[in-house]
Structures are given as structure tokens and as C-alpha cells.
Structure 1
Amino acid sequence: MALLLTLAICLILVKCLHALLAHLKTRDALEKVHQPRGYPLLGHGLIAKPDPEGFVNQIFGMGYLYPSAPRACVLWLGPMPITVIYSAELLEKIVCNSNHLNKGFAYKLLEPWLGQSLLISKKDRWRPKRKLLTPTFHYDILKDFVPVFNEQAKILVQKMGAACGKGKGTASTSGKVEVLELVTLCMLDIICETSMGRSVNAQMQKDSEYVWAVHTINKCVSERTRNPFTWPEPIYKLTSNGRTHSRCIQLLHSFTRQVIDERAAELERSDWKLGDGDRMAFLDLLLLMAHRGQMDPKDIQEEVDTFMFEGHDTTSNGLAWTLHFLGCNKHVQIRAQKEVDEVLQGSEEGTVEHISQLKYVECCLKEALRLCPSVPMILRELGADQPIAEDVVLPRGTHVLLNLFLVHRDPSQWPQPETFNPDRFLPENSIGRHPFAFAPFSAGSRNCIGQRFAIMEEKVVLAHILRNFTITSLQKRHEIRTDVNLIMRPQEGLFVKLEPRNKLS
């Protein structure tokens, strides 16, 4: 017995020594990367802010503290290093290297909801899925969704009109409205109808359990991300937040499972053929793939749930920030309104042809995404050693935080980076800019598969809003505190004053 105990102690000591030597080797490799003073094993734990907002501000602040090349710095979370990079050149090195396609550890927190979907799966599983799903976002398919964009945008305009004493609903003369909530419900209706072919009527029916679950689970994941003590699944399930999370997943999965089963039965009855004039949802495409043996049926729910997550929260935040910036910059808003009026003229709805002509509106959306990217940071795990500068090599296994918030503020790429100026994205002003200086949808082969869908959707909805209202922001930019996790969102909403321009469409 004594011998076994001695061997066990020796084994533990050997493992601890091995871990310590590996840690010291990694520290030595990262010695030349910018970083505040830290301590072996403890890292920067003694100086890290305990509150989530303060910690995120530290990550952003380190970029401003170390602006020189290489635009990278190291933050030690105990013995684990996180290398933060914030230049277009370094971003390109990471996202264009096929060895670095795996997402970081934080994405595992989404697995109970999204499973091994396209968003979080490992690269060996991701590659065939991406190849299979890419055709579902072909332009010829996306253009059939434009009527959905218009239908839901009209409802949004009517709800906004109620705040101005116009349109349907409870009228008010103040014109004050919190736009993020309204836009989020609109985008939720759009993504439900386009991804599942099913309307949840989120804009008009606030007491929907499904709408509650979608909104609540995002808050649950955000809170869990900020608290490492709840990352282990057994511990998280014991917390009140964990129990709420479990209830949301049950509601979300049961809803999508029911929709999938019902739609599969309909397609089977029609011999897997759509009727003339039927609009094909993403779910139909996935079911047809499964019917042909191209996709495992159990993967369908994971992808539909992922469309729901990625397809409404990111776009709603992007559009809400755009409205805020337009409300703060009236000269830009007037120019965008003029373009909308000239393009749409007497048309009640935006068409595919109109979307391509709304070039300045797209510049406004992109500039808002530059300043407030919906996904401000992306975590990747290096699958091989990666040189980032002379005599500086990031070791394999290092977690790299791609700080898009700071990439979009690199003064070498963006003069006066804090100024809202959509003219930056005009073709003549984009010459010579690094192609990875703007990456709100990530970049490289593992970029966002739905980015074209998002831009088309936002242009149509924004055109309807600008056509009907003049926007005045009721908050200064410095007054807005942001909550930065997987999604960058304002903590207390975005408030604007809306004034009707003409008859609501």
C-alpha cells in the first residue's frame, strides 16, 4: 500500500513538473509580445478587474497601451495565455491559415443549445458542413426572401409610428422610442420565417414563450461567459441562471423539433416537391439534403437553431447602432434619406434591384459595424506554431483573441478612427486599404456564411425606416455603456426621437 501511495505521489509530482516546464516554455516563447508584468502561474490575476465590464475595458485598453508593431499583447488568465491581436496584417495571418480554424474554448458554452453546428464545430466536422451549406445562401435563394424583409419592415414602421402619434397602436406624442427592442423583434420574425418557414409574430405577440426563450437564453449565455466558476456543466445546472437556461433550451428545442417534424411530413406528402409560388425556407433546403442522404437528420435542428441565434441578434444590434449614429449625424442621415427617396420613388416595397442601388445606405451600415461590430471579438485556437513578427512565434495550442473592435480602429487604416464617416466605404476612398481592416463578419474561409443575407435584410429594413422617419438620437455616444460578450450590445438600450416624414408605408 505504501509503495502504491509513493508511486501515486511521484506520478503527481512528475505531472506537475511537466506542466510547470511547459508553462515556463510558453512564457519564454511569448516573452517578446507586449504584456503587463505578470507572475508565473498567477499570470495577471492580481491586476485583472473582477467585474466583467472592467475586464473587457482592460482588454481594449491594452490595445491602446501597446499601439506599436506587432499590434498584439498577452493576457495571462492564471497559467493560460490569451494573445490579443488587433491589426489587419496579423488578423490575416490567423484567419487565412487552415491550421487555425478551430474556435476557442468559450464557444463550448453554446453547445447545449447549438450542438456541433457550423458555428462551433471543430474544423474536420466544419469543412464538409460548410461546403454543403454554402449553396443555401446563394443569391438566387436569398432574393426570394426580400418580400419577407418588406412585410416585417412595414410592421416595424407601424410600431414606430405609434410612438409618433401615427399608425396603429397606442399613440404617443413624445416620439421617444427604444429602437433595439423593436428592431430585435422585427429581425426575429424575419429569421423565423426565412429559416423555418414559420411565423412567430414576435412584433405583435409579446407573450410568446418562444420569443421569451430566445431573448432569455442570450442573457443566460452572456452571464455564464462572464463567470468562469459556472463553466463546468454540473455546477452551472445548480445555479438559478442554469435552471433558466435549461428551461429555455427545452422550449427552443421542442419548438424547432415540432416545426421540423411538421415540415418534413408536409414535404413527404407532396413527394418532396414544393408547390408553385411556395417560398423555400432554409429548413426546406436542409430537409431536402437529408432526404437525398447529404445530411444527417439530427444535424438539421442544430443548424436551424444556429440560424436563429446568428440571424437575429447580430443583425438587430448592427441596425440599431446604425440608427443611433444616423440620429447623431443629421447630414449623413439626410444624404441617406435622399438616396432612399430617389431609389424607391413611388414603390411601396424594396426590390432586389433597389437593394443593389442603395450604395450609400450600405456605407452607413458598414461604418456602424466598423465602430460597433456585433461580434467584437473572436477566439481561435492555434493548430500550429504561428510567427507574427521577427523572432516572435505563438506556440501551437495558444488561444488567440481576434479583437475586431480594435482592428477597426487602427489609425494606419482608418484616419480619425472614432469619427462616424460612411464616406470611408466609397470605392474611391477604399483604395489601398488592407482587405482585412474591416471584418465584422470575421474573415477567411471560416467567415460568416450569412453575411450577404444580413446586409440585404438590413438595407431593406433601414430603407423603410429612413423613408418614413427623421431620427434624432437622445443619447450621446459617450453616454452609452456597452455590454461586450459574444455580442456587443448597449446595456440600457438605444433611445431616439422619431418624427414622421410622410405617409407611413
Structure 2
Amino acid sequence: MALVLGSYTVASFIVTLLVAFVTYVMYQLLSRFMHKWKEMKPIPGLDQTYPILGNALYFKSSAGEFFCQLVQLTEQFKKEPLMKLWIGPVPFLVLFHAENVEMVLNNPKHMDKSYVYRFLHPWLGTGLLTSTGDKWRNRRKMLTPTFHFSILTEFLEVMNEQAEVLMGKLEKAAGQGPFNCFNHITLCALDIICETAMGKKIYAQSNQDSEYVRSVVYCEMSDIIIRRVRMPWYWPNFVYRLLGDGKEHDRSLKVLHSFTESVIREREEYISNNESDSESDEGSRKRRAFLDMLLKTTDEHGNKLTPKDIQEEVDTFMFEGHDTTAAAMNWAIHLLGSHPEVQRKVQQELQEVFGSSDRPVNMDDMKKLRYLECVIKESLRLFPSVPMFGRSICEDCTENGPTQAGEKLVAAGHREARRSPNPATAAAVFWPLHVCGQRFALMEEKVVLSYILRYFNIEAMQKREDLKPIGDLILRPEKGIWIRLTKRTR
């Protein structure tokens, strides 16, 4: 009896402690929320704000509808310098005017990533995309030299080869009526990034059912993450694993990390066995990859990157170099198919550079494809691959509203109507002589788009309002990009 009573007393004591702890935590959260809410009350925002949950109940569960809400909010508050949104107990200041976004980008003190970037850490670690402060600066200093001219030239060979594979697939679809080109372009981009980043051929364009390809293209790790971001009740890890997408998240993560880990081991063995970059048994030197540079690069003190450092940069490069580039090319294809006059100008430029030749694209061609570059950059203005980014403010700002150190920003720019010759329609007008792209991505986009436009005429099958962009980590059309291709006579 005493034993039972003692056990009961211990259990009651533990439960009481647990309840007290939870009550204390909730009190602290509510107290901080109310303090911050009063402090930020002068900043315009939504009325539907609740303790702890913030505006989360206002958000639509569908990714497409959620992004539409954000676009509508920028229109609703366009006369204000900024607006506020509460995602759970965390307030975010939303910037959407170019000069305000520029204020953040041009200030080196505002380099800390926003709170929600932590949900990328299990996937990408703290590589270039997600790191802050000294780690970001040192890592960027180490990695920038790896993209020198010779390695980019070798990357160009891969881009040409995979673009030719894509042409074979598109040739079968040409003249057969409307089809969705989104996955065709995405698989091509995935083949390019796997070979250039990791030195690994995965043949995604011919083997799209492989587990890795399914995890990257169809399971969409980024979709899983952004779903969690807009539902703050899933932010605690134990809740997410118990009630949310935790199992799906971990399964996809295991596939992605297992693949990159195995590739890193393979490249390490190859480099250790071929230190002199001598000829292989097949008689030709194995192409260098971004991973090779990572394995050999050192900082100013001669220190190499750790295995963890290498893993997070490879995973980051795979994400940034595949999803973003594929989205950019798909949006450009839609816009070219919707504006025949622009498409003709691009094809005229291609005729001047290539004539009727089927030769690959070389580095000299890159400089000559100026109008195509304008088209790509204007497509990015209208449909930015990454529609928003987040920062934590590291010092008080007063130029564009009361912004204090520690507050979180979400910046979404590009469609700045006030800076256009026709402000009333600037957000919708496709005007390639506007200006925006990193060197590797721009190379890939020029190569793939130049191949498509040399061989085919594109006709868009959707109007702008049919696209329904989904603004997850990457901006995608809800139902793909539907086009009709016809072969060109040259």
C-alpha cells in the first residue's frame, strides 16, 4: 500500500511539475507576444491577429492560395513603406518596395537569416544559403575562387550534352499537341547539376523513377518545409514528428543525404587515387566537379573543409542549382510562347550567332546572346525563382518605418510598378529591356533555351491568370507550363 501510494505521489509530483513548466512557458510566450504586439502596433498589418497563433488562422492551407494571399496583401498595403505579419508568435515585417529591399541588401550588418531558415538546417545545414555572420563571409571567400573560367567551361560541356538529350525528348512531343514541359526542363536541370556539382551522372531524363529523382522532383522537400513554416503549431519538433509531416520529411531527408554522402565518398576515393589528375583507364581525364573543388579548397590558414562542411555545401548547391534554374527556364518558356514578337527577336539573334549550324554553345556565344539574356532577366523580374527571402534586422532602422534590431523581415520585390514607363501595368508587362542571375545559372539558361529556340517554335497554352503561381521556397506554376511545339525549318 505504501509502495503504491509512494508511486502515486511521485507520479503526481511529476505531473504537477510538468503542468507548472508548461504554464510558465506559455506565460512567457504570451507575455513576450503582448509586449511585442504593443510595440509594433503602429505598423500596418492584418486585424485577424490572435495570441501565440498570430495571423496563422488567416492563412490558406493550399500553397497556391497562400501565395495569392501574400500577393494581395502587397497590393492592399502598397502605399505603406512596409507591413507586418505574425506567423505564430514571431512578427515579420514585409518589404515590397525596391528602395526598402535595397536598404536591407546594401547593409552588410543585416546578414543574419530570418527565424524560419532554421527549418532548412536539417537538409542544408548552415552552408552559404543559411549561414550568417563570420561563417557566411569566410565560406563565401573560400568558395568564390572555385568558379573560375576553366571550370565553368567544363560545366558548359555538360550543359550542351544534357540540352541535346532534352531535344530528343522534345522532338517526340513536337507536333503532337499541347503538353506540360515543366518536368522535362526540371529533369534536364537535375542532370546538369548532378554532373557539375557532384561529378555524378544520374540519367534523370531517362530514369525519372529512381528514388533520388522522385525525392528531389516529385516529393519536393521544399514543399514539405514551407508547409511547416506557415503552420506554427508544427514548429516544435516533437509535435511535428507526432502530428505533422515529420515521417515524410525524415524519409526524404534520408534519401537526399544518403545519395550525396555516397557521392562524396566516391569522389574522395577518386581524388586520392588520382592526385596528379592523370589520364584514367579509359584514356580521358574525368571531368572536374564543384565537389572536387570543395575537397581541395583551403582557407587563408590552410585549413580544409570538414566532411560536414562539404556535405552542406553540396546539398545547398544541388538545391539552388536545380530547382531555381529549372523554374526560371520554365517561366521564360511560357513568356516566350505568349509573346511571339519577342520569340522572333531571340530566334533572329540565334540565327546571327549560329546560322543553320547544330553546333554546341561555346563561351564566345555567351557574350553574343545579349537579347536572350535580357529575356531571361525580365522573366526573373516577373517570376522570380525565389519569390521572397528573410533577414533578421541587426540594428535599428528608421528610414522606412520603425524597424528595430532583432525584428524579422520578409522581402519580396521585382514587380516595382512605380519604376516602369507604365506604372499601371508594370507588374504584368513582359519587357525584356528591363534588368536581374548568377553566372552558372545564366549560362545554363542560355544554353538550354538557345537549343529549344533553335529547333522549335513555342506557343503557350495558358494565359497569365491560368498559371496560379505557388510561392514555396521556389516559385512554381500550380499545374505546370503547358505549351505546343512545332519544328522550325532553318
Answer yes or no: is the 8 Å Cα contact 2:366–2:446 preserved in 1.
yes
Match of 1:375 among 377, 386, 389: 386
| Aligned match of 2:76 | 65
Q: Could you list the runs of 5+ residues in structure 2 that have no partner in the other structure?
A: 1-15
**Distance of 1:349 and 1:13 partners within structure 2:** 67
Match of 1:234 among 233, 238, 243: 238
1:267 to 1:7, Cα distance in 2 relative to 1, 3 A = closer
1:10 to 1:351, Cα distance in 2 relative to 1, 3 A = closer
**Distance of 2:172 and 2:326 partners within structure 1:** 20
1:278 to 1:57, Cα distance in 2 relative to 1, 3 A = same
Answer yes or no: is the 8 Å Cα contact 2:114–2:391 preserved in 1.
yes
- The answer to whether structure 1 residue 411 and structure 2 residue 438 are counterparts is no
Where does 1:332-411 land on structure 2 (aligned, <5 Å)?
A: 332-345=342-355, 346-389=357-400, 392-404=401-413, 407-411=414-418
Answer yes or no: is the 8 Å Cα contact 2:415–2:427 preserved in 1.
no
Where does 1:11-410 land on structure 2 (aligned, <5 Å)?
A: 23=33, 26-37=36-47, 41=51, 43-44=54-55, 47-49=58-60, 51-70=62-81, 72-164=82-174, 173-215=175-217, 216=219, 217-238=221-242, 241-271=245-275, 273=277, 275=279, 278-289=286-297, 293-345=303-355, 346-389=357-400, 392-404=401-413, 407-410=414-417
| Aligned match of 1:492 | 479
Amino acid at match of 1:310: E
| Aligned match of 2:3 | none
**Aligned sequence identity (%):** 37
- The answer to whether structure 1 residue 481 and structure 2 residue 468 are counterparts is yes
Answer yes or no: is the 8 Å Cα contact 2:223–2:472 preserved in 1.
no
**Greater Cα offset, 73-82 or 469-478:** 73-82
Answer yes or no: is the 8 Å Cα contact 1:82–1:401 preserved in 2.
yes
1:43 to 1:129, Cα distance in 2 relative to 1, 3 A = same
- The answer to whether structure 1 residue 471 and structure 2 residue 434 are counterparts is no
Answer yes or no: is the 8 Å Cα contact 2:335–2:430 preserved in 1.
no
Where does 1:412-491 land on structure 2 (aligned, <5 Å)?
A: 412-413=419-420, 415=422, 416-425=425-434, 438=436, 451-491=438-478
1:334 to 1:8, Cα distance in 2 relative to 1, 3 A = closer
Shift of 1:46: 6.2
**Distance of 1:482 and 1:54 partners within structure 2:** 9
Answer yes or no: is the 8 Å Cα contact 2:56–2:232 preserved in 1.
no
**Greater Cα offset, 138-147 or 487-496:** 138-147
Deviations 1:451-490 (A, max 9, x none): 1100111001100000000001111111122211111101
Answer yes or no: is the 8 Å Cα contact 1:29–1:395 preserved in 2.
no
Answer yes or no: is the 8 Å Cα contact 1:30–1:394 preserved in 2.
no
Answer yes or no: is the 8 Å Cα contact 1:160–1:177 preserved in 2.
no
Q: Could you list the runs of 5+ residues in structure 1 that have no partner in the other structure?
A: 1-5, 165-172, 431-437, 442-450
**Distance of 2:110 and 2:242 partners within structure 1:** 35
Aligned length: 465
Answer yes or no: is the 8 Å Cα contact 1:220–1:242 preserved in 2.
no
What RMSD in Å do the two structures reach over aligned CA positions?
3.0
Deviations 1:326-375 (A, max 9, x none): 11111111111111111112251111111111111111111111111110
**Greater Cα offset, 415-424 or 83-92:** 415-424
1:218 to 1:81, Cα distance in 2 relative to 1, 3 A = closer
Answer yes or no: is the 8 Å Cα contact 1:38–1:76 preserved in 2.
no
1:121 to 1:344, Cα distance in 2 relative to 1, 3 A = same
Answer yes or no: is the 8 Å Cα contact 1:196–1:283 preserved in 2.
yes
Shift of 1:255: 1.8
Shift of 1:419: 3.6
Deviations 1:229-272 (A, max 9, x none): 33332333345843232222222222222211121112112235
TM-score (normalised: structure 2): 0.86
Answer yes or no: is the 8 Å Cα contact 1:379–1:401 preserved in 2.
yes
**Distance of 1:302 and 1:286 partners within structure 2:** 11
**Distance of 2:292 and 2:40 partners within structure 1:** 49
Answer yes or no: is the 8 Å Cα contact 2:87–2:230 preserved in 1.
no
Amino acid at match of 1:203: Q
Amino acid at match of 1:395: Q
TM-score (normalised: structure 1): 0.84
**Distance of 1:290 and 1:195 partners within structure 2:** 18
